[in-house]
Amino acid sequence: MAGYDFSGRDLTLLIGGLFLLAKSTYEIHESLEGDEGHRSAQVTASFASVLLQILALDIVFLLDSVITAVGMEEQIGVMITAIVIAVGVMLLSAEAISAFVNERPTVKILALSFLLLVGFSLVAEAFHQEVPKAYLYFAMAFSVFVELVNQRVRRQAPVRLKRAYTD
């Protein structure tokens, strides 16, 4: 486009945002899909598959953070150490978080909705349309508050999502 500067950072944000939008939409659809026209079958993701997806998401977020931080930080070693620690913590906690989310279907949908929100924000940023982070954080905090209230109310009647189906 004339007069529009599209950098490698913008391309990374766009690809990452579109990936989050597509993956989240697919996962929400699979969780809420009805029985019509499908035979029931339990589908489980392999640990390697989940690990690769987490790494892909980490890379997208880390690249954005690194590109931003390079302009602000003089000590590259500190940044690299922080990134390695962050990825390590995410990998070590992935199984526990996955179990927690899978036991609570509404938390799973909420987390996927957050990914939709972040994906939209990344796509907007790729086109130099800044979404104020305060709006995102407030929306997420409010949603978590509502979910905490829902979890307390639903202790007697748990919510169950549909299982994923295959053709």
pLDDT of residue 37: 44
**DSSP codes of every residue in the chain:** -TT----HHHHHHHHHHHHHHHHHHHHHHHHH--STT-EE------HHHHHHHHHHHHHHHHHHHHHHHHTT-S-HHHHHHHHHHHHHHHHHHHHHHHHHHHH-HHHHHHHHHHHHHHHHHHHHHHTT-PPPHHHHHHHHHHHHHHHHHHHHHTTSS---PPPPEE-
Domain assignments of the chain as residue spans, ordered by start: 8-158
Contact between 21 and 119 (Cβ < 8 Å): yes
- Among 1, 8, 18, which residue's Cα sits nearest to residue 122? 18
Low-confidence ranges of the chain (pLDDT < 70): 1-4, 34-76, 79, 156-162, 164-167
Q: What is the pLDDT of residue 157?
A: 67
Amino acid 114: pLDDT: 86
Q: Tokens 């036991």 sit at which residue? A: 103
Q: Would you say 16 and 123 are in contact if contact means Cβ atoms under 8 Å apart?
A: no
Report how far residue 94's alpha carbon sits from residue 89's, in angstroms, rounded to the nearest whole number. Answer: 8
What pLDDT is stored for residue 5 in this prediction? 78
Provide the pLDDT for residue 136: 87
pLDDT single digits (tens) 121-131: 889 988 989 88
Give the tokens for residue 11. Answer: 């391309």
Q: Tell me the pTM.
A: 0.65
